[in-house]
Amino acid sequence: MAYQGITTSPVGSSDSLLQGGVKINSNFTEIYNAIGDGSTINLNQKVGYSTVVSVPSAGSVEPTADDNNTLYILEGPTSILNLNNVRTPPIGTRFGIISKESTNSIIRPNTFRIQGLNENLVLDSNYSSLDIVYTGPDFGWAIK
């Protein structure tokens, strides 16, 4: 179904209140069916992640290469994504990060870089949402 707009006109060819309500309900039904199960919206299927993990404030998560294609939501000001357990990820291993605060960090393994950085990455307002992808031992993790 295509989007259904409510028509308004000063001449009298406008949708009635009932017709407008029917169009609004039809638009929402289409959205809920497209990105959910008809009654609950599931945005994860649209952004392409197989799993979503919420990291609480002052919490830390240590993914492995098996956690490829996971979105991590860093909920608090000291939430940490620690990549030290990702020792030999396959090229193309991807993690998504959403930082809800401005002082979250990504701890990198000593053997890898993040986007050419030889240090851990502290997320500020410029990096509130990003993907990191492992590109190989020569470069490390690329910010996508």
* pLDDT score of 46: 46
Q: How is residue 124 written in tokens?
A: 């500020």
* pLDDT score of 61: 94
* pLDDT score of 34: 73
* pLDDT score of 98: 86
* pLDDT score of 113: 83
* pLDDT score of 41: 67
**Alpha carbons within 13 A on the beta-carbon side of 22:** 6
Topology of 44-143 in CATH?
Answer: Jelly Rolls (2.60.120)
| Spans in the chain with pLDDT lower than 70 | 35, 41-47, 125-127
Sorted by where each begins, the domain ranges of the chain are 1-41, 44-143
